[in-house]
Structure 1
Amino acid sequence: MKIHSPFRTALVATLGVGLGVLLLTGVQTLSTVILYIGTALFLSLGLDPLVTFLERRGLPRWAAVLLTILAVLSVFAAVILIVLPVFTDQITQLVARTTPLFVNGEQTVSDIKAWLTDAFPNLEVNLVFDYIDSWITSDQWTKSVTEWSTTIGEGVWVVGGAVLAGAFGAFIVLILTIYMTASTPSLKRAVYQLVPASRRERFIDIADQITDSVGHYVMGQVTLGVINGLLSMVYLSIIDAPFTAVLAVVAFFFSLIPLVGTLTGSTIIVLACLLPGVGSPGTALAAAIYYLIYMQVEAYFIAPRIMSRAVSVPGAVVVIAALSGGALLGLLGALIAIPVAASVLIIYRQVLIPRMNER
């Protein structure tokens, strides 16, 4: 290639590199916004089968979208109303147990001294407590307490900021989900118009398969979560497990996670049944046996029937997709990785392979 002007070539190359850096910087800056949009799009595709089902029953789309969103919000409100009272009750019990330790501090110290004297007759208990008292009143203790207080205060601010950011993000995702769910047909038509007319019909067919696959996958995963949650509620009530409602909610949410969700949730529930004072080894053993049986039934009978309308993904691809999605986007990445893999498989089977066979 003949170079007419080295300066012009260098300028064009520099501008190209600069444009690439600017584009990458913009994507990184807007990563949170892109994550919100991707989450809302994923949720809207998951809700679309339910909206379509209501439309087929004669409801206009706006009414179907409204009923679907209200149903989802009602479920989450019910979960909060179930978990929050139990959490508040446990905090109240903890405060009730620890308050007498501070109110009756002298009595508590006397009890500790008496127990140490009985347990270790040769130990100079008073000297030990005098050393502890002198260390507490020293400058080193004051400095340590100041550092701990500063660290705790910073941690509280960080946690508070994270909670507010999460609440704001959830609100943004909710608004975007409502908008995308209501305008899914018009958004599809707008995208389809960008495809040349000669290829539009084929593109629409593949795009509809992808969106239907994502929607059926999401609804199927939610159905599995509901089944696991309801059965857990019934069985845990029968064996008198602690915090039955909370553990049922744990079973529901962890069942939404593909591949390892049910196993992880079951492990947490079994460990919760071992908590001293509220659980027992017998209860934990009964819960472990139940979840071992349930996971087999879910894997071989329930899941195949519920997921029959979604695109089947080979086991190795499921593992790779879940690990890759989790590494890139955390829990959300693990959730959307499998439907994304299913979409790629559709394109591979119906676009790439036929083109290669034509050559």
Structure 2
Amino acid sequence: MKIQNAFRIGLVGTLGVGVGLLILSAIATLSTIIAYVGAALFLALGLDPAISWLERRGLPRWAAIVIVMTGVGLLVAALVLAVVPIIVDQVSQLVDEIPAIFERVSSFDWVESLEEQFPQLAISDLQQQVSAAITDFFTNPEKLSELAGGVLQVAIAVGAGVFAIVIVLILTLYFTASLNSMKRASYQLVPASKRARFADLTEQITQSVGRYVLGQVSLAAVNGILSFVFLSIIGAPFPAVLAFIAFLFSLVPLVGTLSGSILIVLVCLIPGLGSSLTALAAAIYYLVYMQVEAYVLSPRIMTRAVKVPGALVVVAALAGGSLLGILGALIAIPFAASMLLIIKQVVIPRQNEL
């Protein structure tokens, strides 16, 4: 085969590779903005079922949006005013208790008994090295300046997080107001012969994602409230902080409740804060709660959401978390559910027709 005008072919190929690299570089540069847009669209889809419910009751869409957004704002404000001061106070107490906890752990008799049974561990030497390292850290000016720089970086990160939350909330408001027009515009890009099928599938996906978001937030809220009540009853350390951890972890399906429960039980085992009896009571409670959530709460709350196999949930959560952190883990599950819906209603029927 004779190649005509090799220079032109090489030039076009080089330009194509360059354009591809430029697109990939632009995507990498805009990854933060893409994450903001994805989170806002995710939240807008989660609020859409409540807005649609109000629309079916005769309210115009703008009034339904105002009512829903006002309700969400009041709920968040009430949660912040009620929970954040308690969490800040208990975190301050926890920070104040750290030196005492370290001293109690260092002075326990189990260190000597463990050394007698396993002399090769040299726990006392390790303890002395850790104590010397801590003392050197707090007496060395260079280390203290590094600590100050770390504190400054943390403050900058907190400020960036607050800015990101504000941007996501603004985008959520815009997406919620224009969600229907965005869907109608996307329908126009599909050939007329396939437009009705595409619109039906898109509506199913958006409704399923919205129900999933509402259902998962509801399950997380139930776990957080019940955790606060039970941990307060058994005298667990810092119940408000632990309940907030339970709420955050429960936002991640399947693996979140288990991970948060293990973390809470381990906190209850810290000497000077909890006890083995408290940790045992917490472990029994979360074992029972996870069964109730799996067989009672989740089937009732997530009835109309798209079902995703457990193995796929774990894989999707791990993959999404690796790509985009907590946000990726949250978005990965409805994304996997949407892919399953497309496979069931598009791919499999088309394969059956061949």
TM-score after normalising by structure 2 = 0.82
In 2: Cα distance, 1:247 partner to 1:322 partner: 22
In 2: Cα distance, 1:358 partner to 1:281 partner: 62
In 2: Cα distance, 1:247 partner to 1:167 partner: 22
Kindly indicate whether the alpha-carbon contact (under 8 Å) linking 1:86 and 1:243 is maintained by their aligned counterparts in 2: no
In 1: Cα distance, 2:73 partner to 2:229 partner: 24
User: Are 1:79 and 2:74 matched, yes or no?
Assistant: no
In 1: Cα distance, 2:247 partner to 2:74 partner: 15
User: Are 1:338 and 2:320 matched, yes or no?
Assistant: no
In 2: Cα distance, 1:301 partner to 1:220 partner: 13
1:289 corresponds in structure 2 to: 284
1:70 corresponds in structure 2 to: 70
User: Are 1:181 and 2:183 matched, yes or no?
Assistant: no
Cα shift at 1:242: 3.7
Give the counterpart of 2:225 among 230, 233, 241.
Answer: 230
In 2: Cα distance, 1:93 partner to 1:324 partner: 36
Larger Rg over CA atoms: 1
Kindly indicate whether the alpha-carbon contact (under 8 Å) linking 2:90 and 2:241 is maintained by their aligned counterparts in 1: no
Aligned residues: 319
1:13 corresponds in structure 2 to: 13
Cα shift at 1:95: 8.7
Give the counterpart of 2:140 among 145, 164, 167.
Answer: 145
Kindly indicate whether the alpha-carbon contact (under 8 Å) linking 2:40 and 2:169 is maintained by their aligned counterparts in 1: yes
Cα shift at 1:277: 5.0
Change (3 A) 1:296 1:152: same
Report % sequence identity: 61
Cα shift at 1:219: 0.9
Provide the secondary structure at the position in 1 that maps to 2:327: helix
Kindly indicate whether the alpha-carbon contact (under 8 Å) linking 2:187 and 2:199 is maintained by their aligned counterparts in 1: yes
Listed as ranges, the matches of 1:102-117 within 5 Å are none
Instruction: Return the letter of the residue paired with 1:353.
Output: I
Give the counterpart of 2:206 among 207, 211, 214.
Answer: 211
Task: Please give the per-residue CA displacement for 1:251-304, whole angstroms capped at 9, x wherever unaligned.
Answer: 222211112111122223333434555544333322221111110111122212
Listed as ranges, the matches of 1:200-279 within 5 Å are 200-276=195-271, 279=274
User: Are 1:302 and 2:310 matched, yes or no?
Assistant: no
Kindly indicate whether the alpha-carbon contact (under 8 Å) linking 1:259 and 1:319 is maintained by their aligned counterparts in 2: yes
Cα shift at 1:94: 7.2
Give the stretch that moved more between structures: 165-174 or 66-75: 66-75
In 2: Cα distance, 1:328 partner to 1:6 partner: 41
Instruction: Return the letter of the residue paired with 1:59.
Output: L
Give the counterpart of 2:320 among 304, 320, 325.
Answer: 325
Aligned-residue RMSD, C-alpha? 2.6
Give the stretch that moved more between structures: 333-342 or 57-66: 57-66
Task: Please give the per-residue CA displacement for 1:222-244, whole angstroms capped at 9, x wherever unaligned.
Answer: 11112222322333333343433
Task: Please give the per-residue CA displacement for 1:146-198, whole angstroms capped at 9, x wherever unaligned.
Answer: 32023112212211221111111111111001110111111111111111111
Instruction: Return the letter of the residue paired with 1:69.
Output: M
In 1: Cα distance, 2:137 partner to 2:263 partner: 39
Provide the secondary structure at the position in 1 that maps to 2:308: coil
In 1: Cα distance, 2:137 partner to 2:273 partner: 38
Instruction: Return the letter of the residue paired with 2:161.
Output: G
Kindly indicate whether the alpha-carbon contact (under 8 Å) linking 1:79 and 1:249 is maintained by their aligned counterparts in 2: no
Kindly indicate whether the alpha-carbon contact (under 8 Å) linking 1:251 and 1:262 is maintained by their aligned counterparts in 2: yes
Listed as ranges, the matches of 1:32-47 within 5 Å are 32-47=32-47
Change (3 A) 1:314 1:90: closer
Give the counterpart of 1:155 among 147, 150, 170.
Answer: 150
Provide the secondary structure at the position in 2 that maps to 1:309: coil
Listed as ranges, the matches of 1:129-144 within 5 Å are none
In structure 2, list runs of 5 or more residues that go unmatched.
99-131
TM-score after normalising by structure 1 = 0.81
Instruction: Return the letter of the residue paired with 2:14.
Output: T
Change (3 A) 1:270 1:316: closer
In 1: Cα distance, 2:229 partner to 2:137 partner: 53
In 2: Cα distance, 1:275 partner to 1:44 partner: 41
Task: Please give the per-residue CA displacement for 1:185-222, whole angstroms capped at 9, x wherever unaligned.
Answer: 11111111111111100000111111111111111111
